[in-house]
Amino acid sequence: MSSVVTIEPMRWWQIDEVRRLEERLFPDDAWSIEQFWGELAQPTRRYCVAICDDRVIGYAGLFLLPPDADVQTVGVAPEAQGRGIAGMLLGSLLAGADDEGVTHTLLEVRDGNEAALTLYARLGFVAISRRPRYYPDGTDALVMRRPRPGSTA
Ligand SMILES: CC(C)(COP(=O)(O)OP(=O)(O)OC[C@H]1O[C@@H](n2cnc3c(N)ncnc32)[C@H](O)[C@@H]1OP(=O)(O)O)[C@@H](O)C(=O)NCCC(=O)NCCS
């Protein structure tokens, strides 16, 4: 895999490739093709992909309704993880959200998903509450919040 990774807005013709990656990353509750189409059709959504050697190796999405935003999803191909790609994807979306007037962004993450928790903490998210047995297998969710840098919200 080359070291050149670009981040760009997700396009409809990339949905099939994203969906194949989604199935690898979330085998128990992967979003369907229709769900991705539905997301891209919403004016309140912002999605981007990471491209390497003409392949989609990661994707992320945000629900954005200033002053609020929610991280919808983020995933990176297993063979490309640990190279900062999720940080690039979410960093790009969060910078755009900051520019569009978002003052804070929320997300839910599975307790124990250490890679995701490390990533989110690095991006400025702080855990604010816990949702017991939120996931079908009984695992808790942590709710995390990121204020826009420099904001008092
Ligand atoms: C979570 C995920 C998107 C991270 O992607 P990534 O491109 O590897 O992320 P990054 O390289 O930008 O950052 C990951 C951080 O977690 C760290 N990390 C990776 N695995 C870890 C582990 N098992 N325990 C602790 N930290 C870990 C990395 O070292 C890195 O930390 P750093 O910034 O201090 O170096 C990826 O692991 C993934 O797709 N997981 C499956 C889908 C998923 O769980 N998505 C999140 C749903 S809420």
Single pTM value for the model = 0.95
Q: Which domains does the chain have, with CATH numbers?
A: 6-147 (3.40.630.30)
CA-nearest of 111, 108, 102, 117 to 150 is 102
**Rounded to an integer, what distance in angstroms lies between the CA atom of residue 146 and that of residue 127?**
9
Q: Is the pLDDT of residue 1 over 90?
A: no
Report the pLDDT averaged over residues 67-84. 97
Residue 30 pLDDT > 70, yes or no? yes
Rounded distance, CA 58 to CA 80, Å? Answer: 8
Whether residue 40 is predicted with pLDDT greater than 70 in this model: the reply is: yes
Q: Spell out the alpha helix ranges (H) of 3-108.
A: 15-25, 33-41, 85-99
Mean pLDDT of 140-149: 96
Which atom of ligand 1 lies closest to the CA of 107? 48
pLDDT at position 3: 80
Calculate how far, in angstroms, residue 99's C-alpha sits from the geometric centre of ligand 1.
Answer: 26
Cα 141 to Cα 21, 32, 133, 135, 144: the distances in Å are: 23, 22, 7, 7, 10
Report residue 131's pLDDT band, with 50, 70 and 90 as the boundaries: very high
Does residue 25 have its Cβ closer than 6 Å to ligand 1? yes
At residue 29, the pLDDT reads 87
